[in-house]
A and B are shown apart, each in its own frame.
Chain A
């Protein structure tokens, strides 16, 4: 099952994402969490979001990220998949991650 991604992309298990060029992931000592920084803004990430974004390297597919995290958290694949797809959809809409061709 896919969702509509940025610029007409459909997010599926085969989609590969990378962080948009304008973003930078950084560990924040004050909060002990990761931040995604971009012009004038930043997102303080919860641990799951950080785990997903750290794996958006343009190489891994969404499916492999889901499998990896499901294993790591000990959760069902469908549950993790739903969360990861929703999150990446939101990030793609905001132009913070980009699907590679």
Chain B
């Protein structure tokens, strides 16, 4: 199948640089070894190409997008193209004047990450002091009239604080609260033992979130995203490979998801070399897992194949070494025992030692060749 569908969303990863060192960062482990960042002119060109293809949503993310001093130029162009533009930020490097400028240029929404409900545990996960600053910045977002999304990544250490997270979001006047459990890819995978919650912990938090969603209906949207490890049926990762999303890496690779370039043997093209429309329609990388032709059993004959598209290719690869197998989080997957083993482990007390995202760590992962080989053993 070629790219018959249109992309709706461009996820623009403007940079992998970030002041935070979050232990579940979804950037690739070898982010420090990726190429040079795109320049302003190329970003501007690509926004136009994306809009031509049908893109209506733009997520400006990273890393920390605010470290790019051309963010204003990018936002202005997005507005000119009538894209709905969401800034996804740690909030840390933001100044009030800059935020006001972005508002005037037409930025639509600001999403700030909050790691926990108090400075101590929040800063521990982020790997630096940042919590107090985030609250100040969230206040400016509302004062300047932006809609505010708060995003809290959930895991073993903060799942029991979900009620307090919701209270904090209410206090800050958030319009949307994403309670998104960590997914075990990127930096979260080597930190999995410390982060993966127990089943009971997850169930309690889900109940709290469901009650809040009901209570706050029409006022604050409350989203609860279950970790794939506990869903039993895989999610429709990115709404299907090459169906709705284009992720643009900082160096210009056009990708079906933010980790696709960690899969070996796939060729992804750069917007430096080819127009985005050509890449979307017929690049080898976008074609690799589009549609159903690539599917193995049990996906191929499964009635859910057009619902979940076989799940997450990156999860398949990083757990089994083969990107073309059924996502192991699926209860029907031949490799589902890997997930069951991880869940059993999560029922036991776990060491709380964490690997922080850093350029030095990243060089280490990248330097060891295939990412998977350098990971701690998955099963047992």
Q: Look across to chain B and name the residue whose beta carbon is closest to the beta carbon of A39.
A: B109
Is B290's beta carbon under 8 Å from chain A? no
Q: How far is the CA of A21 from the CA of B109 in the complex (A)?
A: 9
A94–B219 CB distance below 8 A: no
Chain B proximity of A87: nearest CB distance (Å):
15
What CA separation (Å) do A94 and B217 show in the bound complex? Answer: 7
Q: Does B336 touch A at the CB level, under 8 Å? A: no
Q: Which one of A22-30, A47-55, A63-71 is at the interface?
A: A22-30
Q: A6-B219, A28-B56, A95-B220 are in contact. Are A42 and B175 (CB under 8 A)?
A: no
Smallest CB-CB separation from B108: which chain A residue? Answer: A24
Cβ–Cβ < 8 Å partners of A84 in chain B = none
User: CB within 8 Å of B: which of A15-49?
Assistant: 20-22, 24, 26, 28, 30, 35, 37-40, 42
A35 to B145, CA, bound (A): 22
Chain B residues near A93 (CB-CB < 8 A): 217-218
Cβ 8 A contact of A38, one of B84, B145, B218: B84
Binary interface profile of A, 72-100, with partner B (CB < 8 Å = 1, else 0)? Answer: 00000000000000000000111100000
What are 13 A-B contacts with C-beta separation under 8 Å? A6-B218, A7-B219, A20-B147, A21-B147, A22-B147, A30-B6, A37-B57, A39-B109, A39-B149, A40-B57, A95-B175, A95-B218, A95-B220
Chain B residues in the interface with A (C-beta under 8 A): 6, 8, 54, 56-57, 59, 82, 84, 86, 108-109, 111, 145-147, 149, 175-176, 217-221
- Nearest first, the 9 A-B pairs at minimum CB distance are A6-B218, A22-B147, A37-B84, A39-B109, A30-B54, A21-B147, A95-B218, A22-B175, A39-B149
Residues of A within 8 A of B (CB): 5-7, 20-22, 24, 26, 28, 30, 35, 37-40, 42, 92-95
